[in-house]
Amino acid sequence: MKKDYQKTMYACFVGYIVQAIVNNFVPLLFLTFQSAYGIPLSKITFLVTFNFGLQLVIDFVSAGFIDKIGYRISIVAAHIFAAAGLVSLVILPDLFADPFTGLLIAVMIYALGGGLLEVLVSPIVEACPSDNKESAMSLLHSFYCWGHVGVVLLSTIFFTVFGIKNWKIAAACWAVIPFLNAIFFTRVPIANLIEEGETGLTIKELLMNKIFWLMVLLMVCAGASEQAVSQWASALAEKELGITKTLGDLLGPMVFAIMMGLSRTLYGRMGERIPIQKAILGSGVLCVASYLLISLSGLPALGLIGCGICGFSVGIFWPGVFSVSSAAIRRGGTMMFAFLALAGDLGCSMGPTVVGRISGLAGDNLKSGILAAVVFPVLLISGIAWQMLGEKRSFADSGK
């Protein structure tokens, strides 16, 4: 990779850390908001729903304007929104008679940044000149995992040392990262995803592409396979091991995020040795095995090990499908990445919902819900195998 574009990669890595900050910092403060502002917990948890819901909207509408205003303006704006939203958490709740209104506005501001980051960072990295784009994409997405781990650990250490009452200082400190990266993005080179002389596919052309709809299905399954276990890992650890919520958060989601980040980092470093489709296929089989271990094992410790294996197995899914899509659909452009991000987010919502609904029907048995959700990695395996078979047929036909 050209030296200047290496700086672009670094900026993108930090961009995904920023997205991890805006998605994972506020949930650490739910009980603090409840006690400090007297807001019911049911309203506070709506902040997460609102955040991801608005990011879904941004995924959908951004395809129509990002190419018009350009990557640089869009990515700088995304970081400014993220920084402004975190600073607004400190200021706005005290300015409104109802502090929840201030919190909601702050979340809305940084959700705009989070949604734009999700759509922009991957195509910017895909456009960078590199020898192995699949490895670069996997390494990029590992930084969301490491950002998640860092936000939880560093915030927990801060609250332990300085007290939870100083959470506003922590929020302001986290806001420095997107602010500085916004400045960095004004200086680094940004390549065009569509080669010079070509035009991107129109919405009609994209929607008429059969491979695109297969990639959409794979992204839905990727998001669902990941979050079906991740979102319930804490509750599973608490219930199965009989431990406190704090330990449950550390042994559940934290282990999951670390293992997911590890798999992405490993493929980012050694991906040139394994074709991305085979990596997804093998990871899918491992994911099914982890689901069965979690849901069918009678030993709590094995179930927790299954959560870690699941985190490792799903790590390659999201960035892998992005890479496969980019290779299979030429001129897909930003629009394709935006719709794939939307599909992935829908899967992230669908997976935990299926687990929750089935668990409720089974008498609040989480294992039954996770067993039912095994349909998502099974569909993903089937879809990537069908795509690989289709490529082989096309290659064979072209040789005749």
Q: Which residues contact 259 (CB under 8 A, 6 or more apart)?
A: 308, 309, 310, 311, 312, 315
Average pLDDT over residues 228-251: 71
Same domain? For 83 and 46 the reply is yes
Range of the domain at 136: 1-193
Residues in the chain, overall count: 400
Per the rule left: phi > 0, alpha: psi between -120 and 50, beta: everything else, 277 is: alpha
Same domain? For 181 and 54 the reply is yes
Residue 2 DSSP one-character state = -
* Model confidence at 141: pLDDT above 90: yes
Same domain? For 219 and 173 the reply is no
CATH number of the CATH domain containing 136: 1.20.1250.20
* Model confidence at 304: pLDDT above 90: no
User: 322 near 385, Cβ under 8 Å?
Assistant: no
Q: Which of residues 144, 167, 193 is at a domain's end? A: 193
Q: Which among 270, 290, 289 is positioned nearest to 279, based on CA atoms?
A: 270
pLDDT of residue 314: 94
pLDDT of residue 362: 86
Count of domains for the chain: 2
Residue 297 DSSP one-character state = -
Same domain? For 54 and 115 the reply is yes
Average pLDDT over residues 277-305: 89
pTM of the full structure: 0.86
Same domain? For 60 and 143 the reply is yes
* Model confidence at 217: pLDDT above 80: yes
Tens digits of residue pLDDT in 51-75: 888 888 888 888 778 878 889 999 9
- pLDDT-derived band at 109 (thresholds 50, 70, 90) equals very high
Average pLDDT over residues 102-110: 95
Average pLDDT, the chain: 87
Same domain? For 126 and 262 the reply is no
Same domain? For 360 and 247 the reply is yes
pLDDT of residue 246: 63
Same domain? For 209 and 140 the reply is no
CA 320/CA 323 separation, integer angstroms:
5
Q: Which of residues 193, 228, 243 is at a domain's end? A: 193
* Model confidence at 2: pLDDT above 70: no
Rg (CA), the chain: 21
Percent of the chain with pLDDT over 90: 47
Same domain? For 15 and 130 the reply is yes
Q: Which of residues 193, 213, 242 is at a domain's end? A: 193
Residue 1 DSSP one-character state = -
* Model confidence at 231: pLDDT above 80: no
* Model confidence at 31: pLDDT above 90: no
Same domain? For 340 and 309 the reply is yes
Average pLDDT over residues 229-238: 75
Tens digits of residue pLDDT in 172-201: 999 999 999 999 999 999 988 776 656 778
Same domain? For 222 and 233 the reply is yes
* Model confidence at 317: pLDDT above 80: yes
- Residue with more model confidence, 234 or 147: 147
pLDDT of residue 400: 47
CA 43/CA 53 separation, integer angstroms:
15
Same domain? For 187 and 204 the reply is no
* Model confidence at 77: pLDDT above 90: yes
